[in-house]
């Protein structure tokens, strides 16, 4: 293999804004393969491997040829077959879901040393529909009862016994609902025929049925976790919408109980408005309350998870450690008194997994302390102890750079999620629990300082020196632009939440739906540009006063504000319109993890700014030049020399300063910079290396991944950390 292959692959991967893991997922390869090819550890890649990489990176014809040449082979060009985009999306989604949940199951050590025996039985009759509806029997006919009892390896078989395909899984906190849904998805995908339904897990905690129809919400979640599904589908819809509307997706609705209080009844009614086959999980009390307030889930069978037995505990815990006698006293006590506090606690997979981490995986902890009835008189006291000991235990052996304050920072994250009423930790929502006025103030300060520093840097580059007037002008321009961008941020977040861009920049070709994006972005540009132009008109009055000691008449100031508002509005509208026109949906293979989505948004934002700045500079220069020419060199009653270095300086400062302000106030990545990378670390709520901290917590098993977001490994851990660190 040519020495340049790894360098080319690395350069084009970074250009696409992909990590090695993301490229491997998109190409359907192992991450070790990608890493080995980039470092040169793997030589002589197969032609098929190079073709997969070229397709995943969307290389042009010349680039493809160059990559094949670097690999020491020539590409065999064949006419591509005609592919149904929806059918292709189904199969690609199935692959992405399988890869994601296989990794999560391995990460949670579900099979180490063996899976816990999750079992269930049929739920109470009043929590399911009638057997005739479940069996889809003809009117006037009855249907026999279905045997719903089973264990973890039978979950797909039990679901297939239900003709309607609708199953409710009930279980108390920590009973194993997440383990069951993960295994259901993987087992169903393992036996799935081409073109069949794709099971996808959706965390219901972020759904507000009063604001979003279920199908619309499912579509949004698919696009969030698989950005390529935002691509055009049939009849002008997105691929995600096509998959949901044509029932190509089997929703696994996890956490009905996590929907905001007061919305369970509306949520159950909204689910009943669809006929989608689905699996729904919930704690029993919340589901029962919703059923009593409205109705059962139409045509749905229901099962309830049962507790682990004494034999389950005796078989599992001793096998999790090399300390042969470590768990013997506990097992003996559980067998002797199945009603004791410790025996009661060790009946759920959650508490078993916490006990394993605190004692089996931590050499100096003795599980026999759980038998101390004075210290732990009740089951609740043992559960609190296990929850409180979990985080210190996972950081004890390898504290790393975060060990000392990890619990404090995790407590902030738990409180942040509790304040938002969600379990989804999204990087673009960090800081949003703060009052809107506080956020607007922080964004305004950062944007104003950025604009002022831009003014100093550009003036230094053009004049070769920073004058005293510039230093005196710095507070004024910082204050005025800061107020402007703070107000703009407050207006935007009042109307909608900043969400990550679901697109990449494509300079060749056009993508579907471009004109609607262009119009929406241009309207935003008109508003922002008019505001910025008005600010510049006021600043010009200040500059005239500083330089000449003469204040402009009010009519001249108003004239400046009107002229510059109009010109800057046109320039900003065209600049943002251009950025919208070159957007294209992410590739269908882009299953966005949190880090991948962050990198993709950063790359998209920077490229868009690089396109917008010269457009804005050119348009404003042209229009102001025309206005000055038509007005005979007088603007606002004051002679104006527009052109050359002065004009370039004004437009560069305006364009670059506005670009920074727009980045901080109008984009999800900008909000991440302001709050996740600056304000929250500055105030001690989070470490300076936030993404590394979150990834470290994930690798330690404190957090888990759920598509583009993270979650605490269990809702009870989040609740405990929030309560423990609340003032």
Closest to 677 in 3D by CA, of 602, 604, 592, 600: 602
What gap in Å lies between CA 451 and CA 191, rounded to an integer? 58
pLDDT for 641 beyond 60: no
pLDDT for 581 beyond 80: no
Let me know whether 24 and 50 are in one domain: yes
Residues of the chain with pLDDT > 90, as a percent, come to 28
Residue 383 lies in a domain: yes
Let me know whether 593 and 444 are in one domain: yes
Domain stop point among 57, 82, 107: 82
Instruction: Summarize the confidence of residues 485-497 as an average pLDDT.
Output: 71
Let me know whether 387 and 477 are in one domain: no
Query: Which pLDDT value is given to residue 512?
Result: 47
Give residue 10's domain range. Answer: 5-82
Task: For residue 79, name the pLDDT band (cuts at 50, 70, 90).
Answer: very low
Let me know whether 184 and 321 are in one domain: no
Phi, psi (degrees; rounded to nearest 5) at 722: -65, -45
Helix, strand or coil, per DSSP, at residue 377: coil
Give the chain's mean pLDDT.
81
Instruction: Summarize the confidence of residues 179-208 as an average pLDDT.
Output: 91
Q: Could you tell me the CATH number of the domain that includes residue 52?
A: 1.10.260.40
Query: Which pLDDT value is given to residue 2?
Result: 44
Task: For residue 61, name the pLDDT band (cuts at 50, 70, 90).
Answer: low
Task: For residue 162, name the pLDDT band (cuts at 50, 70, 90).
Answer: very high
Let me know whether 709 and 662 are in one domain: no
Task: For residue 591, name the pLDDT band (cuts at 50, 70, 90).
Answer: very low
Instruction: Summarize the confidence of residues 305-317 as an average pLDDT.
Output: 91
Domain stop point among 255, 286, 305: 305
Instruction: Name the residue with higher pLDDT: 198 or 514.
Output: 198
Q: Among the listed ranges 163-177, 409-423, 493-507, 559-573, which one has the minimum average pLDDT value?
A: 493-507
Instruction: Summarize the confidence of residues 636-640 as an average pLDDT.
Output: 57
Instruction: Name the residue with higher pLDDT: 428 or 309.
Output: 309
Query: Which pLDDT value is given to residue 76?
Result: 47
Residue 407 lies in a domain: no
Residue 682 lies in a domain: no
Cα dist. 101→87, 171, 271, 277, 323 in Å?
22, 21, 25, 21, 31
Instruction: Give yes or no for a cis peptide into 463 (omega within 30° of 0).
Output: no
Instruction: Summarize the confidence of residues 190-200 as an average pLDDT.
Output: 90
Query: Which pLDDT value is given to residue 632?
Result: 65
Task: For residue 414, name the pLDDT band (cuts at 50, 70, 90).
Answer: very high
Let me know whether 235 and 140 are in one domain: yes
In our burial notation (b when 16+ CB lie closer than 10 A, e otherwise), range 635-665 reads: bbebebebeeeebebbbbbbbbbbbbbbbbb
Closest to 506 in 3D by CA, of 577, 604, 610: 604
Q: Among the listed ranges 183-187, 242-246, 631-635, 668-672, which one has the minimum average pLDDT value?
A: 631-635
pLDDT for 42 beyond 90: no
Instruction: Name the residue with higher pLDDT: 623 or 250.
Output: 250
Highest-pLDDT range among 365-374, 553-562, 653-662: 365-374
Let me know whether 28 and 120 are in one domain: no
Query: Which pLDDT value is given to residue 306?
Result: 94
Cα dist. 84→303, 329, 444 in Å?
38, 62, 48
What gap in Å lies between CA 86 and CA 487, rounded to an integer? 43
Taken as a whole, the chain contains a residue count of 727
Let me know whether 74 and 92 are in one domain: no
Let me know whether 440 and 368 are in one domain: no
Which residues does residue 706 pair with via DSSP β-bridges, in sequence order?
709
Query: Which pLDDT value is given to residue 494?
Result: 63
Query: Which pLDDT value is given to residue 583?
Result: 65
Query: Which pLDDT value is given to residue 125?
Result: 93
Residue 428 lies in a domain: no
pLDDT for 300 beyond 90: yes
Give the chain's end-to-end CA distance (angstroms, integer).
Answer: 61
pLDDT for 635 beyond 70: no
Burial class (CB in 10 A: 0-12, 13-18, 19+), 174: buried
Let me know whether 622 and 666 are in one domain: yes
Sequence-ordered strand ranges (E) for 218-261:
249-254
Instruction: Name the residue with higher pLDDT: 385 or 537.
Output: 385
pLDDT for 613 beyond 90: no
Query: Which pLDDT value is given to residue 640?
Result: 58
Task: For residue 1, name the pLDDT band (cuts at 50, 70, 90).
Answer: very low
Which residues does residue 202 pair with via DSSP β-bridges, in sequence order?
253
Instruction: Summarize the confidence of residues 110-122 as an average pLDDT.
Output: 83
Query: Which pLDDT value is given to residue 51?
Result: 78
Highest-pLDDT range among 12-16, 183-187, 191-195: 183-187
Task: For residue 589, name the pLDDT band (cuts at 50, 70, 90).
Answer: very low
Classify strands 634-635 and 249-254 as parallel, antiparallel or unpaired. unpaired
Query: Which pLDDT value is given to residue 713?
Result: 87
Instruction: Summarize the confidence of residues 162-185 as an average pLDDT.
Output: 93
Residue 427 lies in a domain: no
Residue 134 tokens, joined: 């479940």
Q: Among the listed ranges 89-98, 172-181, 193-202, 558-567, which one has the minimum average pLDDT value?
A: 558-567
pLDDT for 520 beyond 80: no
Residue 406 lies in a domain: no
Residue 593 tokens, joined: 């993890």
Let me know whether 544 and 472 are in one domain: yes
Query: Which pLDDT value is given to residue 609?
Result: 77
DSSP H or E run through 415: helix 406-420
Query: Which pLDDT value is given to residue 248?
Result: 92
Residue 198 lies in a domain: yes
Query: Which pLDDT value is given to residue 159?
Result: 94
Tens digits of residue pLDDT in 454-478: 877 776 666 566 666 566 667 777 8
Sign, CA dihedral 681-424-667-523, equals negative
Cβ atoms within 10 Å, residue 312: 18
pLDDT for 720 beyond 60: yes
pLDDT for 323 beyond 80: no
What gap in Å lies between CA 626 and CA 606, rounded to an integer? 31
Q: Among the listed ranges 19-33, 63-77, 320-334, which one has the minimum average pLDDT value?
A: 63-77
Let me know whether 39 and 178 are in one domain: no
- What is the total count of domains within the chain? 5
Residue 126 tokens, joined: 């009043």
pLDDT for 679 beyond 80: yes
Instruction: Name the residue with higher pLDDT: 478 or 498.
Output: 478
Residue 31 lies in a domain: yes
What gap in Å lies between CA 286 and CA 289, rounded to an integer? 5
Domain stop point among 35, 61, 82: 82
DSSP string, 287-343: HHHHHHHS-PPTT-EEEEE-PPPHHHHHHHGGGG-S-TTTTHHHHHHHHH-TTSHHH
């Amino acid at each position: 293999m040519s020495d340049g292959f790894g360098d080319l692959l690395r350069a084009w991967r970074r250009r696409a804004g992909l990590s090695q893991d993301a490229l491997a997922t998109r190409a359907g390869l192992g991450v070790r393969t990608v890493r080995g090819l980039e470092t040169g550890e793997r030589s002589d890649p197969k032609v098929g491997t190079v073709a997969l990489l070229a397709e995943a990176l969307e290389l042009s014809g010349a680039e493809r040829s160059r990559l094949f040449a670097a690999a020491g082979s020539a590409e065999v060009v064949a006419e591509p077959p005609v592919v149904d985009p929806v059918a292709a999306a189904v199969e690609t989604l199935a692959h992405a879901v399988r890869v994601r949940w296989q990794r999560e199951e391995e990460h949670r050590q579900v099979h180490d040393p063996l899976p816990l025996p999750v079992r269930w039985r049929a739920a109470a009759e009043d929590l399911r529909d009638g057997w005739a509806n479940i069996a889809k029997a003809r009117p006037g006919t009855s249907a026999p009862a279905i045997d719903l009892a089973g264990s973890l390896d039978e979950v797909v078989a039990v679901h297939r016994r239900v003709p309607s395909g609708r199953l409710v899984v009930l279980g108390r906190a920590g009973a194993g609902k997440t383990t069951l849904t993960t295994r259901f998805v993987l087992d169903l995908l393992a036996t799935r025929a081409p073109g069949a339904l794709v099971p996808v897990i959706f965390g219901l905690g972020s759904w507000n049925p009063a604001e979003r129809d279920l199908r619309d919400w499912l579509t949004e979640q698919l696009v969030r976790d698989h950005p390529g599904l935002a691509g055009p589908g049939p009849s002008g819809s997105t691929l995600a919408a096509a998959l949901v509307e044509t029932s190509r997706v089997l929703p696994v609705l996890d956490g009905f109980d996590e929907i905001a209080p007061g919305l369970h009844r509306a949520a159950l009614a909204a689910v009943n408005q669809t006929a989608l086959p689905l699996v729904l999980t919930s704690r029993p009390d919340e589901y029962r309350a919703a059923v009593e307030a409205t109705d059962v889930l139409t045509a749905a069978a229901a099962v309830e998870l049962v507790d682990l037995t004494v034999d389950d505990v005796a078989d599992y815990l001793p096998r999790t450690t090399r300390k042969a006698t470590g768990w013997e006293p506990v097992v003996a006590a559980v067998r002797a008194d199945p009603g004791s506090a410790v025996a009661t606690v060790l009946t759920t997979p959650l508490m078993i997994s916490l006990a394993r981490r605190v004692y089996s995986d931590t050499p100096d902890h003795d599980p026999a302390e759980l038998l101390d009835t004075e210290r732990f008189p009740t089951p609740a006291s043992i559960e609190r102890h296990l929850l409180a000991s979990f985080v210190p235990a996972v950081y004890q052996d390898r504290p790393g750079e975060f060990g000392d304050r990890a619990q404090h920072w995790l407590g902030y994250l738990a409180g942040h999620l509790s304040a938002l009423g969600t379990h989804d930790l999204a990087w673009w929502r960090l800081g949003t629990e703060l009052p809107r006025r506080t956020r607007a103030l922080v964004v305004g300060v950062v944007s104003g300082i950025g604009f002022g520093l831009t003014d100093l840097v550009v003036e230094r580059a053009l004049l070769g020196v920073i004058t005293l007037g510039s230093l005196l002008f710095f507070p004024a321009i910082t204050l005025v632009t800061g107020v402007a961008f703070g107000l703009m941020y407050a207006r935007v977040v009042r109307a909608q939440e900043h969400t990550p861009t679901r697109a990449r920049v494509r300079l060749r070709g056009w993508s579907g739906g471009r004109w609607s994006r262009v119009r929406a972005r241009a309207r935003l540009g008109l508003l922002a540009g008019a505001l910025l132009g008005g600010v510049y008109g006021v600043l010009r009055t200040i500059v005239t006063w500083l330089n000449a000691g003469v204040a402009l008449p009010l009519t001249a100031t108003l004239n400046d504000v009107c002229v510059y508002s109009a010109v800057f509005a046109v320039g900003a509208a065209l600049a943002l319109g251009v950025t919208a026109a070159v957007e294209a949906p992410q590739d269908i293979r882009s299953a966005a993890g949190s880090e991948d989505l962050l990198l993709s948004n950063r790359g998209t934002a920077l490229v868009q700014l690089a396109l917008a700045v010269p457009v804005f500079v050119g348009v404003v220069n042209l229009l102001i030049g025309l206005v000055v020419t038509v007005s005979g060199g007088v603007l606002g009653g004051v002679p104006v020399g527009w052109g050359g270095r002065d004009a370039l300086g004004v437009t560069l400062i305006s364009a670059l300063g506005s670009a920074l302000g727009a980045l901080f106030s109008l984009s999800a990545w900008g909000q991440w910079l302001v709050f996740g990378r600056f304000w929250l670390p500055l105030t001690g709520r989070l470490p300076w290396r936030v993404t590394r901290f979150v990834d470290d917590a994930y690798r330690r098993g404190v957090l888990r991944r759920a598509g583009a977001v993270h979650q605490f490994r269990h809702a009870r851990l989040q609740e405990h950390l929030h309560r423990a660190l609340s003032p």
